[in-house]
Amino acid sequence: MGLLDDRVAIITGASKGIGRVMSQRFAAEGAKVVCAARTAALVEETASSIAKGGGQAIAVVADVATEDGARRVVERALDAFGAIHILVNNAGDGGPTLPVQDYPLEDWYYTINSCLTSSYLCTRFAVPAMIQAGGGAIINISSVAGRRGLPYRVGYCAAKAGQVGMVYGLALELARYDIRVNAIAPGAVEGERIDRVIAGQAAIRGVPVEEMRRAFVERAPLRRMATPEDIAALAVFLASDLARNVSGQCIAVSAGETGV
């Protein structure tokens, strides 16, 4: 018996990193997983890896920052599995590392849309099916950067803060339907994305990359980075009945860095 048996879960940004690991973990807990991302080869490989492990998954190639893309993911989920119980809004690009006076408007829009508008659109289209299913769970993958900030990443910080604001409002709005809404705020998470962030911060501050990496680790009280598996474990909990009375929360997974 898995914690998510007989549930249908949409996970966006499922092609790599946290999204890929969450997709695999959800499937291992019994969920039927709809893996959504823009890069066909990568998202199809995620779904294939689940099938090889005995789970159920489909890949949907879509840009969920667009209405057509978000709607298509929801429609494919319903066509394949007949219901939607869980939505994990994980898709999003980090945007550039630049001083605000040099931060292009097109990059601002792109970052806000990829992280925040995608969460809104997927939620908008998934909620009617979740109401029909009798309830469910929505999880926004935010960031501690949306709570305590990160220099030279104004678009990313704004988008991630917006995801948390969505949670607070939607948790109240959707409670009548027994739909729980929460956010996870990762700190530094091992993988390619944090490597790019550290390199960007090092370059703009004029310090060696390894010095910047040490700074990222040392500001966490536990003196380590989180892993994608840590994020997936909390996401499974929040999606399951173990968290039936947890809603309207933003929980940091950050080796003790609270972000407040």
Domain total for the chain? Answer: 1
Flag whether 206 is in a domain: no
Alpha-carbon distance 176 to 151, whole Å?
A: 39
Does 163 reside within a domain? yes
Give the separation between CA 13 and CA 42, rounded to whole angstroms.
Answer: 10
Retrieve residue 185's tokens: 């705020």
pLDDT in tens, 131-174: 999 999 999 999 999 988 899 999 999 999 999 999 999 999 99
Residue 65: count other Cβ atoms within 10 Å of its Cβ.
Answer: 24
Tokens read off for 72: 């298509």
57 assigned to some structural domain: yes
Residue 15 lies in a domain: yes
Strands 56-61 and 86-89 come out as unpaired
Contact present, 126 and 181 (Cβ < 8 Å): no
Of the candidates 99, 90, 93, 98, the residue with the CA atom closest to the CA atom of residue 111: 93
The per-residue pLDDT for 257 is: 83
pLDDT number for residue 38: 97
For 167-193, the pLDDT digits (tens) are 999 999 999 999 999 999 999 999 999
Confidence of residue 259 (pLDDT cuts 50, 70, 90): low
Q: In what order do the strands lie in the sheet with 32-37?
A: 56-61, 32-37, 8-12, 86-89, 136-141, 179-186, 250-253
Is there a domain that residue 170 lies in? Answer: yes
260, pLDDT greater than 60: no
* Residue 85 belongs to domain spanning: 8-188+226-253
Q: What is the pLDDT of residue 1?
A: 84
Q: State how beta strands 56-61 and 179-186 pair.
A: unpaired
Residue 199 resides in a domain? no
Mean pLDDT taken over the chain: 96
What is the biggest distance separating any 2 CA atoms in the chain, rounded to whole angstroms?
54
Tell me, yes or no, if the pTM score tops 0.85: yes
Residue 26 sits at the vertex; the CA angle it makes with 22 and 28, to the nearest 5 degrees, is 115
Q: Which two tokens stand for residue 207?
A: 């310090």
Tens of pLDDT, residue by residue over 35-65, are 999 999 999 999 999 999 999 999 999 999 9
Query: Which amino acid belongs to residue 153?
Result: R
CATH code, 145: 3.40.50.720
**Positions marked catalytic:** 156
pLDDT at 123: 98
